[in-house]
């Protein structure tokens, strides 16, 4: 029996290159995103991997669309996802959206995703820069679809149903529910694949559609006007003193050095 085709949308965040030094502009108190290379949020690459695995399982009629909200100038950073094997991409891009907080970002993304359409949305469980982890939950709420978080394995999908294993603090749960749904995946889905040379060449011809806030039907105050929070101060963290280094000649002396140190600090 042929598996039914699905429309999969992977939401990704474009973050400053994880290998670059990141800083916050003291005037705007926003992350400096210009003049810094942009990359896919490393967690989201796992979501792309999970989506491509589903496409392989379900057949070529299943499509994988990459979705992001970012500046149009970051468009080319999406080519990596297309080179990995996604079919196309959609960007919600509007200068008015800059400075949006978690709530507004999620709302705006939800409006655009309703236009794009989907059977399942896949995303990474956290972002590499803001580290809030709040967007997927808020997105599911604004879309009015069930959320299935921290998935490590999709056991069954299709015919309007999903069955998956999700990680918990103590192990995992098996959860079933209807589609459409929003699914966040953990790193246990498997290492993101590398783009092949053919994939890289092919990605150049794939479409990246740009949606403005108006295209997406966003009707709330945007950017920092619509945001519910503001950054009032930024500071450097307290720096720690460099470690005291002890060369242990043997196990006993190493253990004694630690034990004495813990005693000194009243930790044992």
Range 186-225, binding another protein (CB under 8 A): 186-188
Rounded CA gap, 195 and 92, in Å?
24
Residue 27 in tokens: 């005037």
Q: Does 31 bind another protein (CB under 8 A)?
A: yes
256 dihedral zone (left: phi>0; alpha: psi -120 to 50; beta): alpha
Residues in the chain, overall count: 268
- Is residue 69 a contact point for another protein (CB under 8 A)? no
Residue 27 is a binding residue for another protein (CB under 8 A): no
- Closer to another protein at the Cβ: 79 or 166? 166
Q: Does 234 bind another protein (CB under 8 A)?
A: yes
Which of 137, 190, 202, 223 is in the footprint of another protein by CB under 8 A? 137
Residue 110 and residue 139 in contact, taking contact as beta carbons nearer than 8 Å: yes
Closer of 5 and 175 to another protein (Cβ): 175
Q: Which of 8, 101, 121, 213 binds another protein (CB under 8 A)?
A: 101
In whole angstroms, give the CA distance from residue 69 to residue 240: 37
Among 53, 114, 142, 158, the residue binding another protein under the rule CB under 8 A is 142
Q: Does 174 bind another protein (CB under 8 A)?
A: yes
CA dihedral 83, 124, 138, 39 (to 10 degrees): -50
Counting contacts by CB under 8 A, is residue 146 touching another protein? yes
How crowded is residue 152: how many other Cβ atoms within 10 Å of its Cβ?
16
Contact flag: residue 26 with another protein (CB under 8 A): no
């Amino acid at each position: 029996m042929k598996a039914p085709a699905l429309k999969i949308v992977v939401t990704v965040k474009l973050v400053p290159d994880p290998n670059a030094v990141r800083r916050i502009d003291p005037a705007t108190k926003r992350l400096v995103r210009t003049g810094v290379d942009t990359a896919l949020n490393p967690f989201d690459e796992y979501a792309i991997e999970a989506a491509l695995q589903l496409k392989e399982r379900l057949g070529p009629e299943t499509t994988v669309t990459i979705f992001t909200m970012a500046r149009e100038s970051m468009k080319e950073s999406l080519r990596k996802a297309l080179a990995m094997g996604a079919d196309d991409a959609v960007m919600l891009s509007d200068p008015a959206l800059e400075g949006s907080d978690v709530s507004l970002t999620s709302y705006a993304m939800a409006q655009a995703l309703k236009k794009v359409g989907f059977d399942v949305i896949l995303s990474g469980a956290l972002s590499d820069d803001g580290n809030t982890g709040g967007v997927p939950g808020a997105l599911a709420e604004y879309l009015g679809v069930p959320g299935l978080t921290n998935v490590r394995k999709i056991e069954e999908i299709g015919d309007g149903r999903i069955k998956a294993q999700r990680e918990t603090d103590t192990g995992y749960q098996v959860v079933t529910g209807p589609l459409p749904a929003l699914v966040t995946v953990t790193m246990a889905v498997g290492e993101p694949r590398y783009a092949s040379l053919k994939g890289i060449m092919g990605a150049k011809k794939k479409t990246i559609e740009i949606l403005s806030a108006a295209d997406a039907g966003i009707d709330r105050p945007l950017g920092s006007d619509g945001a519910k929070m503001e950054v009032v101060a930024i500071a450097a963290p307290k720096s720690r003193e460099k470690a005291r280094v002890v060369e242990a000649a043997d196990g006993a002396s190493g253990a004694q050095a630690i034990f004495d140190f813990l005693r000194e600090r009243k930790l044992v």
